[in-house]
Chains A and B, each alone.
Chain A
């Protein structure tokens, strides 16, 4: 999966979770004080990404070390999550 496709999927999942017509940019934080997503919405995004990954024939693991690591968390922003989603599609 190319990164642009992954970004589209991730942004779509975030918009669905937010249930609002908000602009979701690549540098939008997914965790922390400035995030529009609370932790429960983030879980909803992850569950949605699991389903979308299945549709694309791979398994998306959001409890991986990459997800949990503080220094390089895939939840630091939309672009990082999309990058991890794309990486896992190639694994």
Chain B
């Protein structure tokens, strides 16, 4: 079984659909209803009690968990100077603290199995220090740092932790970003083009697979930085 947070839309939805298509059993977590024939649990990752409740439900299934994919996240493209307090709190609480909650509360299932793969999501905005994404990038830089350290903490349990850092992928998070702005960002990548959700899904498949058993504590940037 694979747990996917943020499964109701964007990358989380695309990953969920890809994995189901590959024959994997997926439990989707989301604040909202998840469309389609998907086993789902209502969960707000920014709320510790909500994540804990979801982890109990999953534990009660007594099904081996192959991977945890923390795709839930929020974005707000703005200069730090013009970002309001509530938005700052929401970005950090959801992207960073929510990812930590999920890793902390879902990983014991994998620790017990002595096997598993955890995939967290960052952004190339961290490595590229993109203007207008300071708070969002800060929240994701925290995710990268947490992931590298957490990878070491759970390594002896044969649980791997890695990050995928996408560039500008067309999802709701990019609402309001123009094609010109996207081109300016992708021009800074090693591979200067816009990648798609399917490219991210390919990396997810790789990191879940045993072929990636030598990878842990890594940040894989889509397009390269």
A-B contact count (CB 8 A): 16
Mark the stretch among B103-111, B187-195, B203-211 that contacts chain A: B103-111
Query: Which B104-123 residues sit within 8 Å CB-CB of chain A?
Result: 104-105, 108, 111-112
Does B145 make an interface contact (CB < 8 A)? no
Contact A40 B105 (CB under 8 A): no
Measured in the bound complex, the distance between the Cα atoms of B108 and A63 in whole Å is 10
Q: How far, in Å, is B28 (CB) from chain A's closest CB?
A: 23
Contact A63 B105 (CB under 8 A): yes
Contact B104 A47 (CB under 8 A): no
Contact A47 B108 (CB under 8 A): yes
Does A69 make an interface contact (CB < 8 A)? no
Contact A40 B104 (CB under 8 A): no
Contact B52 A43 (CB under 8 A): no
Q: How far, in Å, is A87 (CB) from chain B's closest CB?
A: 18
Contact A40 B156 (CB under 8 A): yes
Does A35 make an interface contact (CB < 8 A)? no
Contact A47 B153 (CB under 8 A): no
Residue on A nearest B153 in the bound complex, by CB: A39
Contact B112 A47 (CB under 8 A): yes
Measured in the bound complex, the distance between the Cα atoms of B104 and A48 in whole Å is 17
Measured in the bound complex, the distance between the Cα atoms of B105 and A40 in whole Å is 15
Inter-chain pairs besides A47-B108, A63-B108, 11 sampled, C-beta below 8 Å:
A40-B153, A40-B156, A40-B157, A43-B108, A43-B111, A46-B108, A47-B111, A47-B112, A50-B112, A63-B52, A63-B105
Could you list 16 examples of A-B contacts with CB < 8 Å?
A39-B153, A40-B153, A40-B156, A40-B157, A43-B108, A43-B111, A43-B157, A46-B108, A47-B108, A47-B111, A47-B112, A50-B112, A63-B52, A63-B104, A63-B105, A63-B108
